[in-house]
Structure 1
Amino acid sequence: MSCTRLLISFAVCAALTTFVSAQQPNSLRPARTAPTEAKPQGTPVEISPAKAIARQMADAYALSKTAKTVDEYSSIIENCERVLAEQTSEETIKYAKQLASWGYNRRGEAFAQQATELIEKGEERKANDLDALALEDFQQAITLDSTKWKAYHNRGVSLGLHGKVEEALADFDQALKLKPDHVNGWFNRAEIKSQLGRYAEAISDYSQVLKLKPDDHGSLVGRAAARRHVGKLDDALKDISHALQIQADYAPAYYERAEIEMGLGQWQSAAEDYRTAARTDNRMGRAFRGVAWLMATCPELKFRNSKLALEAAEKAIDLDGDDDYRTLDVYAAAQANMGQFEQAQATLQKAIQLAPQEAQAALQARLRLYANKQAYREPVRQAAAPANLPR
């Protein structure tokens, strides 16, 4: 999975990475202390170790009620760690661990949010550094309190961003075990399973989201994509229609409907939906990728346009980078359609190096075409619709 933000696609991203607001430790209160008698001005005040610990915990708890910044969460953590370094009661240690865990989790969320903002500015290296700090904080939160489901979920998101998808799935499993009604946990697990090609499991997880939140348009589109992959096109189109009823300007829904239409040979409808997706969200790289593929590979000449296909493929790379084999595959197809066969072969070789095993055969077949100075064309399909659904 790409290190860029997910999810998933990792539209991995947009979604595989949304955190819900954290709560303070359940049913926790600082230890109560008796008021101290006032001392004459200028006389040193002696505070017993027990009272000092109680004061530190009271300060940490008070700050937790308003904390919003990395520095404030760090202050809470430091107070709790000073307490944990002292010899004190089991009750106080337990509370300090829970509050420190809360602080680590919240600080990790703050780092992750800062990383997202940096990605949007194009500062990927700095964002990756913050993602690493976030992951460390989520790990420490779990070490201190193994019941913190939000930390498991957040660590799963971070692990997914680092390409450690099996570990991410294990964390989502644990988060959902502790919090079965956590919508984001079900959604993120579905996104990763879909990326791994485990479509039946993904459909089940998306369906669980929709039981909890029936109008979750991201899950409707995700389930539609998974249903398309297993051939359930009627159900996929129903999901898309529902998603567009909820939000008529939802670009991923138009993109997914175009993918279904491509598979059905409905070239005109696919072209319209790809363009609508790109127009609705001009930062959506895969929409431009779809436009490029259609205009470069359509078996019907009237839908092909060599110049525009190449421009759309280059736009997709500008938006999403060149670390996704699918984007490079599209770029190579556009180059070949333009007659740039040597460039197409070089581009496709890069795609082959990045592609999973299951994609290798198709890529190698296209590489042989380009070596023989032939462009790739989609198979001719008889246009058909699986259901008469309104557009």
Structure 2
Amino acid sequence: MTRRPGFRVPFLDLITKCLLLLLPTCSFAQSTGIQLLDDAILLHEKSNNPAAIPLYKKALEQHPENYQCNLEMGNILWETGKLDSALLYFDRAIKIDPSRVEGYLSRAGVFYAMRIFVKGDNDALKALQLQPASGLPYNLLGYSLLERNEYLKAILTLDSAISKDKTIYKAYVNKAGALMNLKRYAEAIAVLDQAIVIKPDYVNAFYNKANAYKLSGDYEQALTECNKLLELDNKNIEGFLLRANVKDDLGDELGAIDDCTLAIALDSNNARAYNERALARFDIQDNSEIITDCNHAIALKPDYYDAYIQRGDAYDNLGDYDKAIADYTKAISLDSTKLIAYREIAASVAKKNDYKVSLNYIRKGLQLEPDNKYLLVHKFQLQQVTGDLTGALTTLNQCIKYFPDSAAIYNYEKMYIFDTLHDYTNACKCAFACLKDGLEDGYDYLLKPQCAAYKKQPLMIAEPFILQSQKEFASGMFYAEIATLTKAIAILPDSASLYYNRGGGKRQLNDFAGAIVDYTKAISLRPKFRDAIVARAVAKTYLDDITGAMIDYQLAIKVDPTYAIVYNNYAILLQHSDSAAAIDNFTKAIQYNKKYAAAYLHRGAFYLTLGKKEAACTDFKKAESLGSDDAKVERLLNCK
């Protein structure tokens, strides 16, 4: 069984956690009259929590009955996830002075984070009674709606907070959090910019802004924002880990490892830093060091699910399947609701040829996610190996149900199983389904005597012409190819693929107008024919119909938002009219195909025209590493 190399923890989960846990309701920026407390607050505001916590403790030792000391200690414990301890300090602060609103606001926030909504609502109502005109209670209520995943309501409530007091910068950050959860990244970035205007040194705003760029696929801008964050606070551990993650996305694994190492130097007890460094090592296959890092992470956090998965993957890569299985088993014992451990353990067990046990793990995984393509495909493969052909057919039918775009592949597998079972009627039926879906391997099977009933089907009559046209195309005989495809079209006038192929032949002969006619016909027959839409855009470009080409590229993006070539081609057209959009589209091309050398080359060349030589050279080097000779020339000409 094959598996995806280098398991990656979904970073969105980490983002969401940081957005919600790093936003205590109140913090005092003015002098408190207690030097230790002032120093702690200054470090706290810069998110240097490891240094701030000892100072808060010392301040409390000297002033145990001070309201602000207890409040701020509660806030920082809230930020660091120690919610039960935070409640104790908020309780004490409220007992010291029940007339002040901040303690109720913060305690309500912790209750909401703990999903104890009734108690949280009671504290929020008390805060509203104490300060009905303040925006702070509305900020808290917006935060609570974030915790309840009611993002649209959260945005409305946070807008109320902002309308009452435009200086509550954390309300902007919370609003941005809601927008990010709705994947409205551009809006989130704009809101975070407002927070930064109010408080230019608020590192959390830069952190979340970098995250928003990262989640939108603009890794270069995410890196820029990470750098700004670390300029403000060069000891910000979360900032280093975020930058490491961005660098890893950009293919700079060594840079990612360096940033994780810097985070570890700042806090050698940070389990996540070791785990992130292990993740960064996967692409360079440094399995022994991955294991070492995971050992550190697990020693610090014995219930660290992700670290067990990473270490298991490293053991699996080294062929030590027993240790891999032990780690995946431990992960399942920690959280049996997560799919990844079942998928990974099934793969390792299968490598030991224990197929029935592997199947059992796959079935458990499918209980969690019935439409998981990886598990379904490997399930039918293992069923074939173990001789359960009837079960394999059932699983293949599930594959067709969930993934109809790949039906031809699954029908092809069914064809062979039915043939093995001597069920030739169904075997021929599946072979014909393959042929109808464009998989020509089914044609050879249909030539067998048992499939004689299909020989008079138009598709079977046209198939020899289709095969002949393919040979003519491969030989560069484009006029002959066009003539042959015209014969096939006469038999199958509703075949979008035939018009598309004939358009390709015309394009080879520089008959772009004729190609556009055929591509347009193909699209009319199959409106979501992505490749035909892109091919028509290319033909329009050759005829200088730039507007028409742009419209087609926009249509192709709607049909398939993950198709890297579309973004690259669209960006090339945008270079003369919209520089920012061009860069954005080159970046998206790279996001969806990290080995797309041409996109790196084109973006680098465009950076050069914009005077961004450093960025250009980075792209040229990356394209060269991916095998681009043109990029090597550009690097030698323009870079040191």
Judged with a 3 Å threshold, the aligned counterparts in structure 2 of structure 1 residues 80 and 179 are, in CA distance, closer, same or farther, namely same
If the length of structure 2 is used for normalisation, what is the TM-score? 0.38
Q: How does 1:308-327 map to 2 (within 5 A)?
A: 308-315=326-333, 317-318=335-336, 321-322=337-338
Query: Which residue of 324, 334, 345 maps to 1:334?
Result: 345
Q: Distance in 1 between matches of 2:244 and 2:29?
A: 38
Tell me the CA shift for residue 304 of structure 1. 5.0
Count of residue correspondences:
285
Q: Distance in 1 between matches of 2:127 and 2:311?
A: 51
Residue-by-residue CA offset, 1:228-256 (whole Å, 9 max, x unaligned): 12122232222122111111111111112
* 2:178 corresponds to 1:175: no
Match status 1:10 vs 2:13:
yes
Distance in 2 separating the partners of 1:312 and 1:163: 34
On the 8 A contact 2:321/2:348 being kept in 1, the answer is no
Q: Which moved more, 1:204-213 or 1:137-146?
A: 137-146
1:126-147: CA deviation from partner (whole Å, max 9, x where unpaired): x628999866642321243445
**Match for residue 103 of structure 2 among 68, 74, 91:** 68
Aligned to 1:19, which of 17, 23, 37?
A: 23
Asked whether the 8 Å contact 1:64–1:76 carries over to 2, the reply is: no
The whole-number CA distance in structure 2 between the counterparts of 1:76 and 1:273 is 46
1:290 is matched with which residue: 304, 310, 323? 310
TM-score of the aligned structures, taking structure 1 as reference length? 0.60
> Aligned to 1:372, which of 349, 372, 381?
381
1:323-370 Cα deviation digits (max 9, x unpaired): xxxxx244212123223236426736965958xxxxxxxx65x75445
Render the CA deviation track for 1:58-88: whole Å, top value 9, x for unaligned.
xxxx99855421557645645766xxxxxxx
Give the 3-state SS of the residue equivalent to 1:15 in structure 2. helix
Task: Name the SS for the 1:68 alignment partner.
Answer: helix
Structure 2: gaps (5+ residues): 1-8, 31-96, 106-121, 350-354, 384-640
Q: 1:241 to 1:129 in 2, by over 3 A?
A: closer
Shift of 1:313: 3.7
User: How big is the shift at 1:290?
Assistant: 1.5
Report what 1:221 is aligned to. 241
Residues 1:239 and 2:259 aligned together:
yes
Q: Could you tell me whether the CA contact under 8 Å between 2:288 and 2:314 is conserved in 1?
A: no
Do the aligned partners of residues 310 and 242 (structure 1) sit closer, same or farther apart at CA in structure 2, a change above 3 Å counting? Answer: closer
Name the CA shift for 1:287/1:170 in 2 (closer, same or farther; >3 Å).
farther
Corresponding residue for 2:536? none
* Inter-partner Cα distance in structure 2 for 1:164 and 1:292: 36
Mapped to 2, the partners of 1:69 and 1:178 lie a distance apart of 25
Q: Does 1:305 align with 2:323?
A: yes
The corresponding residue for 2:268 is 248
Larger radius of gyration: 2
- Pair 1:101 & 2:163 matched: no
Cα distance, 1:13–1:274 mapped onto 2, change above 3 Å: farther
Contact 2:19 2:174 in 1 (8 A): no
Task: Report how far residue 21 of structure 1 moved.
Answer: 4.9
Q: Is the 8 A contact 2:313 2:324 kept in 1?
A: no
SS in 2 for 1:215: coil
Distance 1:188 1:291 in 2: 29
- Asked if 1 retains the 8 angstrom alpha-carbon contact of 2:25 and 2:102, the reply is no
Contact 1:224 1:236 (8 Å CA) reproduced: yes
1:200 to 220, 224, 228: 220
Contact 1:288/1:316, CA 8 A, preserved across alignment: no
- Paired with 2:194 and 2:156, the residues of 1 have a C-alpha distance of 18
Distance 1:330 1:311, change over 3 A: closer
- Contact 2:135/2:164 (8 A) holds in 1: yes
For 1:335, give the aligned amino acid. Answer: A
Find out whether 1:151 has 2:155 as its counterpart.
no
Q: Greater RCO between the two (CA within 8 Å, min separation 6)?
A: 1
**Whole-angstrom distance in 1 between the partners of 2:326 and 2:285:** 21
Distance, in Å, in 1 between the alignment partners of 2:367 and 2:187 is: 30
Question: What are the within-5 Å matches in structure 2 for residues 251-262 of structure 1?
Answer: 251-262=271-282
> 2:115 corresponds to which residue?
none
Alpha-carbon distance change, 149 to 67 in structure 1, aligned in 2, over 3 angstroms:
closer
Q: Give % identity.
A: 20
- RMSD value over aligned CA atoms? 4.0
- Kindly state the Cα deviation for residue 271 of structure 1 after the two structures are TM-superposed: 1.3
Separation (CA, whole Å) in 2 of partners of 1:370 and 1:129: 35
Distance 1:283 1:213 in 2: 30
Structure 1 spans left out of the alignment, 5+ residues: 1-5, 27-61, 82-98, 116-126, 323-327, 355-362, 375-391
Q: Which residue identity does 2:136 align to in structure 1?
A: W
